[in-house]
Structure 1
């Protein structure tokens, strides 16, 4: 009987650990982030543009195997109000990009008006438009030629790989870039290149896809190496931060961003020899991708968002980092 009680207690602890969720709604300090004890991730609420017109919260599930962000901002639709995200913690940082051989990233994600989450696909799309949901979902990284500055608060370079975005959200450099000229294809998705300088005097490089995605599994390192091979960024810079999340701009009703099944494969090769990336023949910029003419027009409020959440499964999270490569894989029952 004592053995049965011990087994029952153990099962209770396992189920409790798997089912645990933590919610953070703060702006700074312990109320704003969660540090996983089993995975090398930090989760940030990060409402850095809070103007008092709404709120942002994150809920981290199962010690980091998935997380949700709920938010609503009623004012200043052109401004970023927050960037709830997951940040990879690894001893490989700061990593010289000349030694970056792989940057695999995979995840499933979706964004919906919370009240429409269980409705039909058409109704969810309509809710995103009706409630003026303005957002983007990005893989975000920071770099600098100085090894220490690469992991500081204000490195010189930012690379944003957009995976999904609404119709009236635009990248830095919309009025000075040539997306009709600079393009690259990753795993069948064509990305269009923008670059410019933000208000903090950082150079920002943005890659925007020709269609909104809800599930990705690809090596994105070519989008980094493209920059120095085409003289947009020096080769001798360090990658200091790698994170994934959603920028919040505007919504008149609460929005739910949900993501899980994420994995990173960040590999370093100290003797790597690069060959020129295969060139991609440019095409006309499709209507999904913003242009200067569309940026200057305020005649439409159409949303380009895709609301479908591909999978509600939290079965595996994996992280690959290092020269070897070291591997951490966790499976949850």
Structure 2
């Protein structure tokens, strides 16, 4: 039996007007002209025999029937959107689409991915390096790895690992600028603005204060970076001291490109978390295997807090 429904485009146009409050804003959302949106609503009104819009020379508003119908349509579209998203997420269990911060991708994940591919040859991984928080309802992503507080709305999060924070520099810089933590403010300090906020121990002033140290010179970084990869490279180049995150600098410490001149270390205020949409709980397929693999790799990573 054929469904007795008005044209879908007319419903979409009406819903867009109701949500945006105007025909022009609805047209922008739908990427069509205002006249096209208005015409679609007229088609809907004719089909249903009900007036939904009050049209004046300078304003368009909903009638009482329009408000009631808008609420019903909005609820239907919300349900449809959720069901579509749920179906999309269930379709392909063999593909992982990962969003990860660039520095962790470069300095931790990339060299380990071949291990996963060898263990699970039927599963594929697509990596997107990004700092942005992920809206899983709008992006075709399966999982994210982030550094932060670990609470993300609508998502499940599991701690991947903690790490240490300590000042580091190149061996060459240390030879020329041997100093104490009390006097480190007189040296060149590099600031990594990739992570954290001023009150976390990823900030020079906060880190020094938590050691109970009163510096002889004001703590004032001279270079600022928005990518940890850049901060690390500048430090390797002998530009000054940086607050090194043990996971990210472990390889450079092993190679000798960086050294830890001081014994003082602090556990980072911003651990790394695995994040995925709650709709994927319980875990299954490739996502389950990938998260279990991430945890195994994390457990044997040098530089983690044990």
TM-score under structure 1 length normalisation? 0.22
Structure showing the higher helix proportion among its residues: 2
Bigger radius of gyration among the two:
2
TM-score (norm 2): 0.23
**Higher RCO structure, 1 or 2 (CA under 8 Å, sep 6+):** 1
